[in-house]
A and B are shown apart, each in its own frame.
Chain A
Amino acid sequence: MEDGDLQCHEIITLQVGNYANYVGAHFFNLQNPERNGDSEINPHVLWRQVSARQNHPRWSPRLITFDLKNNYFRTTQFESTSDPSNSLEEVSKGVLWDGSIQTFDQRGSFEASPQENNKESGNEKDKDRREQGGTLGAAKSSEINRVRGQVKNWVDFTQWRLHSPETSKFSVGNFSHNPTLGTLSNYGQGLQIFKSMEETVTDTIRRYAEDADYFQGFHILADQQDGFGGIASGILEHISDEYDKKTSFTFGLSSPTVAGGKEQFPDLMLRLLNSSLSWNSFSLHSSVFSSIGLSKNLFQSNPEPVVLPHVTYDPSSSLESSSVLAAALDTLTSPYRMKEPKISLPEIVSLLNAYGHKMAVIGMAFPFSLFNETTLFDTLRVDGLNGLRSLTPGVQLNLEKNIGNFFVPRGFRPQQVIQRRQDGRAEGLQEQQGRGITNAESCLEVYSQETFPKSVNVVRSVQTPFKLSHPFPVLFDHKVLESLKISGSRAPSIVGESWEVPTIGSAHNSPAAGETLQRLIDVLDGRGKNFLRGGSILSENLDMEFDDYQESLNNLKVLRDAYLPDSTL
């Protein structure tokens, strides 16, 4: 589909697994063109307009999802996709349960006063007021608790719909595999399940591809630690075969972990086996992949969660941790989703996978905090990119050692880049102009060029800020709120309002990925060897052949070797 001269380079997204669907649900919530209005982002890249009516264009993501059958079942009617025509009266007619009703009208932009935007029935209002008597943080956290309480699964908070769910939604019958647990726990099973649904899956991909005029590639979000890795592998194999010239960017997700949880050694080994098999397939069949998640270390039981500056989230909650990852992906992918794309997906990928480094590292500063009216320029001069956190578990961002760094500064207003004095003269103007700094892009470009001279640094900025709105369940600390000029006197309900924060997303071609691979190989070669007991456990319990596993481990070793210092020179 084209908008005038606008060429859009379509991307098909695949969400494989429950946690992948959580991330994807947030990801598409953030971008929903039905809500975001006109911006420099071109919705056609990831979305498809499904009804031609001018006033009410309906959009549906170019998306194929895979999950267990039961997870598609909406558990609550949580804030159903808002239909402005639904007045409170009409809604109450259809209510089947007792108790008060609360509806939220999201038509208004965030400037509208929250009182107008909130139609509440009496009881609820009083209760809310009482809760809002506390600090702002408390008010927001009560809101989040409400979301938390109502969300049992990702379908509960998605605000978009698939246009033809019967073809693009694939459910895995959980009973036929692990009836006792109702999960899909291992790679081999996943692979088998893919074989059984291969024809319909490939046909759906083909249908989306046929629809696309300038089809660019795939985003694959996959749970790497369970059997869905196997399904993703099957899909990737098909993609690399059938769409060999297209780019595929795979994100292997690690679902949230609980520090001090009950994970036992066999669980850990199973998780690592699945990861290693998935990584092997991701590296063989996708253009580049990255492992992302909010754990510090994947290679031990019950790993600690990553602590993010200025952000409070519950690391054990899929709902909240996935939103952080979705924010990172949203920022990172925005440069090639623009109406005038500043870079294309294949270009980014070619930076990330140079030298056969198929495993990329992803980082994020969310939010990139500019406190006390400081500027990007000053913050970089003082702190550098310290706010940037790695989202690839077990990897430290060691920027100067990286081969390629790709940065996406997003939503920096001009005055947030360079300080201007009262008289209008910019501070240190000479210096800044001398280096050609005019906006966030050039600012970060100059900084990275000077600080990481050995790396190829690519910076593409996006003006449209990251918009955080209901039901995005992350809490910021008071410093961020202050910098957003959200004062305690005003009690916001997140609904109908959106906060804009500057963010930086990044992706790196980094030798650190090789270290992660090395650690995985060490664990599997060490403790894993005993555990596998000569492979009998694989064939008997995991539907895998030992030879296949050996081969995949060898492939990972080859991939690791690509990261060794002498091979890059």
Chain B
Amino acid sequence: MAAINVLNPKAEFARAAQALAINITASRGISEVMKSNLGPKGTMKMLVSGAGDIKITKDGNVLLHEMQIQNPTASLIAKASTAQDDIIGDGTTSIVLLIGEIMKQSDALVAEGVHPRIITDGLDIAKEVSLNLLESMKIPVKLERDILINVAKTSLRTKVHHKLADLLAEICTDAVLTIYDPAEQLDLHMIEMMEMQHRSELDTSLVKGLVMDHGGRHPDMPKSLSNCYILTCNVSLEYEKTEVNSGFFYKTSEEREKLVASEREFIEQRVKKIIDLKRSVCPEGSDKNFVVINQKGIDPLSLDMLAKEGILALRRAKRRNMERLSLACGGMAMNSVDDLTPDVLGYAGSVYEHVLGENKYTYVEECKHPKSVTILLKGPTKHGIVQMKDAIRDGVRALFNAIQDKCVIPGAGAYELAVSRKLEALEVNTKSVLGVRLFAKAIQVIPKVLATNAGFDAQDVILKTLQAQSGGDFTVGIDLDTGDVLLPTQVGIYDSYAAKRQMIDAGIVVATNLLLTDEIMRAGLSSLKG
């Protein structure tokens, strides 16, 4: 009887070798699942939900989030690697594969009687060496569009079709460069994504401004304006029947009518103030126009007044968009119409409405110094758009990392192979050498899977590259189109420094934890309802 049974007779547990076996099987299981999705040549998975919704993806992060993972070890790995995605946006699959491979290799060693502690000590040494190597392989990056496009491409090609990836890479790079302000921290929230089920994926474009998913609600409002002053406000322009002015608190109905009329008058005053401002900045005969974008409602009577003045007014704009509007067009979001001055107005060269079936979209474009941009995702199907959205998110993160780290790492498996070679050659005089060599083998899994997924023989390709590397040039990677070696820097395959760092770090930490587990027990407080 295990000790835990004394404490809790109902506890379920697994001990020593059994516990390790469970961990090993689980981590191998999850990496087997993810294996085929790695890299630009990886294949897709189709996820079907209980309600029949379909999602087709090869994004490791999406897969792990959507899959139903019940095994505790597997879900630990999933959590560790998706945490990576939250911060870095890439490399989820790599971590899962690396952990799986370390566990697989350890299996054999442990079976021979090696204590897991020896392996983990070796892993620690390997980690240090790998990270040092990573530092030495850094390629410094300046804000050059070409290099950044390559960085984005490398990340995007692992998620979507090549042609699309190249287009998205340019869009992502331009978006990031537009909002980049050297003085400030890069805020990726300033890149808005807008979905439009329309045309094809290749029509996806970058709007240096804003696209809103609603239009003017009045038939007489202009549909397209140029040279626009933009007033963003959060002011109710509708008559609202509040609970307090309801009938039961008034003696006579006249009294109530009076209140209603004065409330209405109050709203009208607000609209008039806006119209006054419009008249002062857009004098008769000028080519200037006026647009009101309101976070609160605008009722038909107010819309009518505004329409008569040729003002385009949008109601109930997203709260998020209010912030973006002032960043994109300048000006300030107003919470009251009492002190309106021309200073609070933003400017956009062109504002126009686009109708798509039942949906209206309003474009606010040609802003002077946009600090917020919109990526307009187009595609004929919902799942295609979602796929792109996930991909762009990762692409933008990759750029963000490159700009933050001010460096990138050569891709195409070059780094992994270099680590492997270096560790093989490393002289370690203790038993920990077993762990070091183990890691040297394990990390080869990334280039191996990349090659396998591209349809080449893994051993063949690895051997070829290792031989090429023995010449002393560490930055040799795999050409997934030919199966030969290439120089990643020459063709522009760059990986994110942060992603690699995180992969080594998280991979080894999680694997260490799993290896050192000698007992698994399910003995938490029995919850109320499961």
Instruction: Point out residues on A near B: beta carbons under 8 Å.
Output: 2, 9, 50, 69-70, 72-73, 166, 171, 173-176, 178-181, 183, 185-186, 202-203, 206-207, 209-210, 212-216, 242, 245-247, 266-267, 269-270, 287, 343-344, 346-347, 349-351, 353-354, 456, 458, 537, 540-542
Contact = CB atoms under 8 A, between A and B. Distances in A.
B246 A347 contact: yes
B525 A350 contact: no
A209 B297 contact: yes
Contacts of B246: 344, 346-347, 350-351
Nearest to A266: B528
Contacts of A181: 529-530
Contacts of A350: 243-244, 246, 248-249
A178 B51 contact: no
B172 to A, nearest CB: 21
Given A347-B246, A353-B243, A180 B530 contact: yes
Interface in B122-149: none
A247 to B, nearest CB: 6
A445 to B, nearest CB: 14
A353 B247 CA distance: 14
A214 B236 CA distance: 12
A171 B527 contact: no
Contacts of A343: 247
Given A178-B530, A214-B238, A350-B244, 6 more contacts: A210-B217, A245-B236, A350-B248, A540-B527, A541-B528, A542-B528
Given A73-B51, A210-B315, A346 B528 contact: no
B297 A215 contact: yes
Nearest to A169: B51
B82 to A, nearest CB: 12
A262 B177 CA distance: 63
Nearest to B249: A350
B52 A166 contact: no
A245 B243 CA distance: 9
B285 interface: no
Contact of A245 (B49, B50, B242, B358): B242
B527 A73 contact: no
A1 B16 CA distance: 70
Given A185-B528, A537-B528, A347 B297 contact: no
B280 interface: no
Interface in B45-81: 49-52, 68, 70
A562 B286 CA distance: 60
A213 B218 CA distance: 10
Contacts of B300: 2, 213-214
Nearest to A177: B530
Interface in B232-261: 236, 238, 240-244, 246-249
A533 to B, nearest CB: 10
A178 B246 CA distance: 46
A540 to B, nearest CB: 6
Interface residues of B, number: 34
Contacts of A354: 248
Given A2-B300, A185-B530, A209-B297, A346 B242 contact: yes
In the A-B complex, list the 8 residue pairs whose CB atoms are closest, starting with the nearest.
A347-B246, A210-B316, A350-B243, A350-B246, A541-B527, A180-B530, A185-B529, A245-B240
B201 interface: no
Contacts of A247: 243
Contacts of A541: 525, 527-528
A386 B60 CA distance: 64
B357 to A, nearest CB: 11
Nearest to A70: B50
Interface of B is mostly: loop
Contact of B241 (A174, A186, A266, A346): A346
Given A185-B529, A347-B246, A203 B240 contact: no
B49 A216 contact: no
A69 B243 contact: no
Contacts of B243: 247, 287, 346-347, 349-350, 353
A171 B242 contact: no
Given A73-B52, A206-B316, A456-B248, A270 B529 contact: yes
B49 A270 contact: no
B354 interface: no
B497 to A, nearest CB: 30
Given A185-B529, A346-B246, A347-B247, A73 B241 contact: no
A9 B240 CA distance: 10
Nearest to A270: B528
Contacts of B240: 245-246
Contacts of B241: 9, 216, 344, 346-347
Contacts of A246: 240
A73 B50 contact: yes
B68 A175 contact: yes
A60 to B, nearest CB: 11
Nearest to A2: B300
B316 A458 contact: no
A347 B51 CA distance: 41
Contacts of A203: 318
Nearest to A212: B297
Contacts of A173: 49
Nearest to A247: B243
Contacts of A50: 358
Contact of B51 (A70, A202, A213): A70
Nearest to A241: B319
Contacts of B68: 175-176, 179
A213 B297 CA distance: 8
A425 B236 CA distance: 56
A239 B382 CA distance: 28
18 contacts: A9-B241, A69-B51, A70-B50, A70-B51, A72-B51, A73-B50, A166-B382, A174-B50, A176-B68, A210-B214, A210-B217, A210-B315, A247-B243, A266-B528, A270-B528, A287-B243, A346-B246, A347-B241
A492 B238 CA distance: 50
A267 B530 CA distance: 11
Given A203-B318, A213-B217, A541-B527, A69 B50 contact: yes
A242 B529 contact: no
B524 to A, nearest CB: 8
Contacts of B70: 179
Contacts of B382: 166
Contacts of A267: 528-529
B93 to A, nearest CB: 20
A267 B529 CA distance: 8
A285 B309 CA distance: 39
A269 B529 CA distance: 11
Contacts of B319: 202, 242
A178 B529 contact: yes
Nearest to B241: A346
B521 to A, nearest CB: 17
Contacts of A212: 297
A346 B527 CA distance: 43
Max chain A Cβ within 10 angstroms of own Cβ: one of B51, B242, B525: B51
